[in-house]
Structure 1
Amino acid sequence: MEPAEYFDGGTVSVSESRYAVLKATRDDPDAFASVRDGDETTVVVEQDAYDEEDAIEAEEGWRILTFEMTLPFELVGFLAAVAGALAEEGVSVFALSAYSTDHVLVKDDDIEPAVRKLEALGCRVER
């Protein structure tokens, strides 16, 4: 299995909403994602929906690109291929994975070059 097999004809959806990535004081049950490790809690939440008192630091202006495809655990290099392709366009990413789906957050200002690059790889992008 090669990542390119999933790009060709694969669907990527672009969120309408803007998101904030927070270094937070606590989990948010309404968040898109919450990640806790031993040192910090990171929360991805709609930008206009978070309480600033819960944010230690916040980075706003992100859009979510969701790879609407089931990605098997044995697939090697999918996120590396996505991040590398977007890096060629100067697009920074914040990556998250669910059980079988990957999500990449890009800054709102970078959404157009990101979409063009994904389409050039063969993805069908839905907005």
Structure 2
Amino acid sequence: MDPTEFLDGGTVTVSEETYTVYKTEHPESSAFATIRDENETTVVAEAGTVDDANVVESEDGWKRLTFEMVLPFELFGFLAAVATALAEEDISIFALSAYSTDHVLVKERDVPAATAKLEELGCRVAQRE
């Protein structure tokens, strides 16, 4: 499968919310995402909902771009295509994958350039309601 087939005509929504990505010792049950491995716990939560007492390190000002499409496990290179396209515009991403959907977080200041690049790839970009 070619990832460009999913990008061309695919819908990407931009979150209304702004997020904080942080390292913590205590996962937050109300967070958008929690990633735990043997070394650390990373949480993605809406800005303003973070308990600073639990934060080890943090990075504020992220917007979530969600690829509103079911991405099969057999698909290879999808995030690589997105990351490469955005890297060409000097846009850093924080990538998250759910079971069948991918999300990338980009800094709020980079949203206009990121959405323009995704539109060049054939995506329809909309604000999440």
- TM-score over 0.5 (shorter chain): yes
Q: 4+ residue stretches of structure 1 with deviation over 4 A?
A: none
- What do the CA deviations read for 1:61-90 (whole angstroms, capped 9, x no partner)? 000000000000010000000000000111
Compute the displacement of 1:15 (Å): 0.3
Compute the displacement of 1:26 (Å): 1.1
Residue 5 of structure 1 aligns with which residue?
5
Gaps in structure 2 of 5+ consecutive residues = none
Q: In the alignment, residue 77 of structure 1 is paired with which amino acid?
A: G
Compute the displacement of 1:43 (Å): 0.2
Residue 55 of structure 2 aligns with which residue?
55
Compute the displacement of 1:106 (Å): 0.2
Q: In the alignment, residue 64 of structure 2 is paired with which amino acid?
A: I
Q: In the alignment, residue 5 of structure 2 is paired with which amino acid?
A: E
Residue 85 of structure 1 aligns with which residue?
85
Residue 118 of structure 1 aligns with which residue?
118
Q: Secondary structure at the match of 1:53?
A: helix
Q: Secondary structure at the match of 2:117?
A: helix
Identity over the aligned pairs, expressed in percent? Answer: 61
1:21-40 maps to which residues of 2 (within 5 A)?
21-40=21-40
- What do the CA deviations read for 1:92-127 (whole angstroms, capped 9, x no partner)? 000000000000000001000000000010000011
Q: In the alignment, residue 42 of structure 2 is paired with which amino acid?
A: T
Count of residue pairs brought into register by the alignment: 127
Normalised by the length of structure 1, the TM-score is 0.99
Compute the displacement of 1:7 (Å): 0.7
Normalised by the length of structure 2, the TM-score is 0.97
Taking the aligned partners of 2:124 and 2:104, their CA distance within structure 1 comes to: 15
Taking the aligned partners of 2:64 and 2:29, their CA distance within structure 1 comes to: 18
Taking the aligned partners of 1:116 and 1:25, their CA distance within structure 2 comes to: 37
Taking the aligned partners of 1:2 and 1:120, their CA distance within structure 2 comes to: 17
